[in-house]
Structure 1
Amino acid sequence: MVKIEPFAVERWMDKYETQATHNIAETCCLPVSINDLQNLSTEPQKSPIPLAAKLTYGAIKGSEQLRGLLAHLYSVKTNTPLPIDNVLITTGGIQANFLLHYAIVEPGDHVICHYPTYQQLYSVAESLGAEVSLWKAKEEDNWAVNIKELENLIRPNTKLIILNNPQNPTGAIIPRSALQEIVTIAEQHSIIVHGDEVYRPLFHSISPADTEFPPSLLNLGYKNTVVTSSMSKAYSLAGIRLGWIASRSDDIIERCMNSRDYTTISVSQLDDAVASYALAPQTLHNLLHRNIELAKTNLSLLEKFVESHRWACEWSKPRAGTVAFVKFTKMGRPVDDVVFCRLLIERTGVLFVPGSSCFGRDGDFKGYVRIGFVTETRILQEALQKLGDFLSKDYVNDVPLAS
């Protein structure tokens, strides 16, 4: 029988998010409605919903329109366009990750996973019988990856390297030069590289003109790369439950398709249509501009808070995505982040995610909390005010140190 660990961050959110008055644990950009999408579009009179369409299973791999839009996005600034048949639409990014690992990971395989990261990216592989080595980024290096450490982790049976770029929960990026080194090493050893790019293209603190701006993994010339993503994070549409798998390897896509036949068969035609509307050029640029500007505005507020409360917290400022990983201490020692987060939700209604229990193994990330800051600016401002009041009144006496 397959055994899999409880999904700690999802359990935490399920337990507390309905109690929150100020949820700044959420990782999606501020959601949009269908009306919002139409207002963002240069063709607002066109409906995202095909009201006359017969609601069959629809296109099994995803509509040609949607897969074509995604293939185009992955083909920008490359000499080899991504074929439309190398995109597979899934029910959310979480299914994309699961199907990919289910399709390619076998008992006895060795997998290397970028860490800290979303628990699914290593727990599914472990449940399938693989041994997983965590490739640990360190905050003292601004959460940068160490290529030499990656080389030391590789074994003869290493099947897969998993990256998360931009990274959850830190908001760090793997820059272009490091990505190219990873791909070169993987190609030398015939290892598949999976990039969870669900927070791409929400780059708020690095410019596309920067020489180290990270391209998609698919743009680096190695066939055995595969990316997953979704409409939930950067595109503000978690409610349509739509994601995708894209690869230059026909074999990887075919294996994922075979696994998918045993799960959802296809995605909702309505979800497919809304995603197509959002990713069309008439809407996409305005939607991303809205979210990047919101991220910049809110990150500035969070940065001011951290800088004015250096006696209690510290961070490596995120460069992309929607989240920050902030460490809370007392007299230089980390606090019990789980107790801290529980007291905060109970007394103020502000919801964080505790780092040690939701992202850490073997005592990692004590004192850390994940903050999702690309929410309504007013909500973030109020949450930070409540947090500041808690720090000044309750924090010193009531929040224990980590054991």
Structure 2
Amino acid sequence: MVKIPPFDVEQWMDKYETTPGVLNIAETCCSSISVDALQRLNKRQDAPPPVDFSRPMTYGAILGSAELRQNIASQYDSAGSSGEVHPDSVIVTQGAIAANHLVFYSLVGPGDHVVCVFPTYQQLYAVPESLGAEVSLWELKAEDGFVPDVKALRGLIKSNTKMIVINNPNNPTGATIPTETLKQIIEVAREKGIIVFADEVYRPLYHSLDADKIPPSALSLGYEKVVVTSSMSKAWALAGIRVGWIASQDPSIIEKVALVRDYTTISVSQIDDQVARYALSPDVRPQLIARNLELSKKNLALVDQFIQGHQEVVSWVKPTAGTTAFVQFKKNGKPVDDEKFCLDVLEKTKVMFLPGSKCFGHGKGFQGYVRIGYVQETGVLQEALEQLSAYVKENLA
């Protein structure tokens, strides 16, 4: 029997996000958009609706419709890939969480060694470990801006290292791996023939970087043994359609994933596929990402204002991308017990966020840190920060 630890982030969310009157600033998706609102973003007035309800509800295209896979592939072309990403290099899945699981289940097992950035989404190191792989955590440090240290990576590589796992932009810190660092990671992998797996679920929400500082997808750096995952949930504000994908320019990786996928998924919902292809179409995609970037910038400024107002007890590495911030709270100069802190804040203010050491530390630190998701509706964030400010003044000052 495969043994796997509780998924602490999801357990916490499931337990507390339905608290009556909750001000949820733990959510990591951009403020969700309706299909009606999505349709209003289309710059073509004569465009057909997102869903064709006259279509028979068969299984549809097994690996995802040709149009959706083309729209996904085109994102990597526009990112400046060294070679065209073909739709056949893309497999559609039921969200990024299924995509990530399929990558590990297809490519690693007993006897393999995996290096994974840390902190990150627990799935990215817990699943390979549950499959019998040895996992080394590649720790990110606040003093480095949560940018991975490639020298430290070299020290973690072993003769049986099968995969290097990165998360760009990073969850929970909101940090970006710069282009030069990405290239260095690729070179380390190329030297040993190691697979690079990049969870890029928050891409392309680079809201606080100049255009020339936005890194390309790992898929675009000329190394065939790269596999990336993403979804419609985070940067695209469509978590409810449960569409994600896997992309790789290595045909053997795509073939292995497709074979394993037969055991888990016949196809995604045809309705979901249609909404996703509509959202990523050239007529809609620019307006949708512009909406989410604008909301990210506006809301991040509010969090920054809160932190600047409480610098004696609150600190962070300001995010450059994504939807999450990793914020540390202190009392009398020492990190708070973040789990007790989160529960006390929730009880007294209805403000909900996640404890860092419990959900991301796993015995490795991050005491006093909480993860805040700040790209929900601005009014919710404003009210939550007002309540949190009053709590901090009363309890931490």
Supply the distance in 2 between the matched residues of 1:363 and 1:142 (Cα, whole angstroms): 18
- 1:122 counterpart residue number: 125
Post-superposition Cα deviations, 1:259-318, rounded to whole Å, max 9, x if no partner, equal 110112110000000000000011100000010011000000100100110121100000
Matched, 1:89 2:85: no
Counterpart of 2:81? Answer: 78
Out of 167-176 and 77-86, give the one that drifted further: 77-86
Unpaired runs of 5+ residues, structure 2, are: none
SS, match of residue 44 in structure 2: coil
Distance in 2 between residues matched to 1:186 and 1:392, nearest whole Å? 48
Identity across aligned pairs (percent)?
A: 53
Aligned pairs for 1:98-247 (under 5 A) are 98-210=101-213, 213-247=214-248
Superposition map of 1:3-402 within 5 A = 3-19=3-19, 21-43=22-44, 46-76=48-78, 77-210=80-213, 213-395=214-396
Verify the 8 A CA contact 1:31 1:237 in the aligned structure 2: yes
How far does the alpha carbon of each residue in 1:231-282 deviate from its partner, in whole angstroms, 9 at most, with x for none? 0000000000000000001111111111110112110000000000000011
Tell which deviates more after alignment, 200-209 or 74-83: 74-83
Contact 2:116/2:124 (CA < 8 Å) preserved in 1?
A: yes
Per-residue deviation, residues 68-118 of structure 1 (Å, max 9, x unmatched): 111111112234101111100000000000000000011011000011100
Q: Report the Cα offset of residue 347 of structure 1.
A: 1.3
Residue 50 of structure 1 deviates from its aligned partner by: 1.2
Q: Provide the C-alpha distance between the structure 2 equivalents of 1:343 and 1:141, rounded to a whole number of angstroms.
A: 31
* 3-state SS in 1 of match to 2:212: coil
**Structure 2 CA distance, aligned partners of 1:42 and 1:353?**
38
In the alignment, the residues of structure 1 paired with residue 83 and residue 379 of structure 2 have an alpha-carbon distance, to the nearest angstrom, of 44
- Per-residue deviation, 1:329: 0.5
Aligned mates of 2:22, 2:156 — CA distance in 1? 44
How many Å separate the matches in 2 of 1:201 and 1:269?
25
Report the residue type matching 1:295 in the other structure: S
Tell me the amino acid that sits aligned with residue 275 of structure 1. A
- Distance across 1 between alignment mates of 2:210 and 2:232: 22
Report the Cα distance in structure 1 between the residues aligned to 2:156 and 2:82, rounded to whole angstroms. 32
**Residues 310-349 of structure 1: CA distance to partner in whole angstroms, max 9, x if unpaired?**
1211000000000000000012210000011001111111
Q: Distance in 2 between matches of 1:114 and 1:35?
A: 38
Q: Secondary structure at the match of 2:361?
A: coil
Give the aligned residue type for 1:286. Q
Residue identity opposite 2:155 in structure 1: N
Task: Tell me the secondary structure at the aligned position of residue 234 of structure 2.
Answer: coil
Helix, strand or coil: the match of 1:75?
helix
CA distance, structure 2, for counterparts of residue 41 and residue 349 of structure 1: 37
Q: How many residues align?
A: 394
How far the C-alpha of 1:208 sits from its partner, in A, is 2.0
| AA at the equivalent of 1:182 | I
Indicate if the aligned counterparts of 2:81 and 2:219 stay in contact, CA closer than 8 A: no
Q: Distance in 2 between matches of 1:278 and 1:51?
A: 17
Instruction: Give 1:242's aligned amino acid.
Output: V
The letter for the 1-side match of 2:141 is K
Q: Residues 99 and 245 of structure 2 are in contact (CA less than 8 Å); yes or no, is this contact kept in structure 1?
A: yes
User: SS in structure 1 opposite 2:50?
Assistant: coil
**Per-residue CA distance 1:165-218 (angstroms, 9 max, x = gap):** 0000000010000000100110110000000000000001102223xx210001
TM superposition score normalised by structure 2 = 0.98
Q: What is the alpha-carbon distance in structure 1 between the residues aligned to residue 81 and residue 318 of structure 2?
A: 31
Letter in 2 for 1:172: A
Q: Residues of 2 paired with 1:79 and 1:27: CA distance?
A: 31
Shift of 1:43: 2.8
* CA distance in 2: counterparts of 1:50 and 1:310, whole angstroms: 53
- 37-46 or 270-279, larger mean C-alpha shift: 37-46
User: Is contact 2:25-2:351 (8 Å) kept?
Assistant: yes
- The 8 Å contact of residues 81 and 222 in structure 2, kept in 1 or not, is answered as no
Q: Is the 8 A contact 1:38 1:46 kept in 2?
A: no
CA contact (8 A) 2:169 2:200 kept: yes
How far did residue 395 of structure 1 move? 4.0
Q: Return the letter of the residue paired with 2:77.
A: S
